[in-house]
A and B are shown apart, each in its own frame.
Chain A
Amino acid sequence: DIQMTQSPSSLSASIGDRVIITCRASQGINNSLAWYQQKAGKAPNLLLYAASRLHSGVPSRFSGSGSGTDYSLTVSSLQPEDFATYYCHQYYSSPWTFGQGTKVEIK
């Protein structure tokens, strides 16, 4: 199975901050990477797929980049509704696997 390692596991940030979350795969995944946002007690919501494609309805302050084994999610200006846990997900090779999550908290 492909292991997905996210960093950091948690971070504290203020409204308006630029936040970057990284995800490293144990082998190359050819941009077959999605990012999800999950709020407490709710299902995950798809933010981006194919590493950098924004899902319909997702604000443009979210962006993704990367290649090979290393990927990142950037929130350009953190808003109050962005405090949540974020997961990366590789779908290059079955079984699909997820990162352990990054919790973004209010500073």
Chain B
Amino acid sequence: QVQLQQSGPGLVKPSQTLSLTCTVSGGSISSGAYYWSWIRQHPGKGLEWIGYVYYSGSTYYNPSLKSRVSISIDTSQNQFSLKLSSVTAADTAVYYCARDDRLPSGGPAGYLDYWGQGTLVTVSS
């Protein structure tokens, strides 16, 4: 059974960079069978998709965050990471990592079938 375990600080100062890591167990990231996504949820609000990474390192980001976000992958550690720079209070949210199936044609299927436990990140001085 695949599991996604998130790690990273829950408090980040304004203007600094938010960094989170998602470690996958029960399957190999380098299999190429899946894409790996980050999603966030502002307190009491809905969900916002941030972006995804493939085992090759290729990425796609939500244009609303593209200038500040970076998602990377470390196949040797079976983990992928999120960096969000120049954070403000508006970036306070619960951040989730998730797995996305891969289509036979090669692209992401889009639906997210396994999720990490979530990390509340508060941006405050």
Contact = CB atoms under 8 A, between A and B. Distances in A.
Q: Which of A36, A55, A96, A97 has the most CB of B within 10 A?
A: A96
8 contacts: A43-B96, A45-B115, A46-B112, A91-B110, A94-B60, A94-B62, A98-B46, A98-B48
Contacts, number: 54
Contacts of B45: 100
Interface residues of B, number: 21
Interface in A7-61: 32, 34, 36, 42-46, 49-50, 55
Interface of A: 32, 34, 36, 42-46, 49-50, 55, 87, 89, 91-92, 94-101
Given A98-B47, A98-B48, A32 B64 contact: no
Given A43-B98, A91-B108, A98-B47, 16 more contacts: A34-B112, A42-B117, A43-B116, A43-B117, A44-B112, A55-B113, A87-B47, A91-B109, A92-B110, A94-B60, A95-B62, A96-B49, A96-B110, A98-B46, A98-B49, A100-B45
Interface of B: 45-49, 60, 62-64, 96, 98, 108-113, 115-118
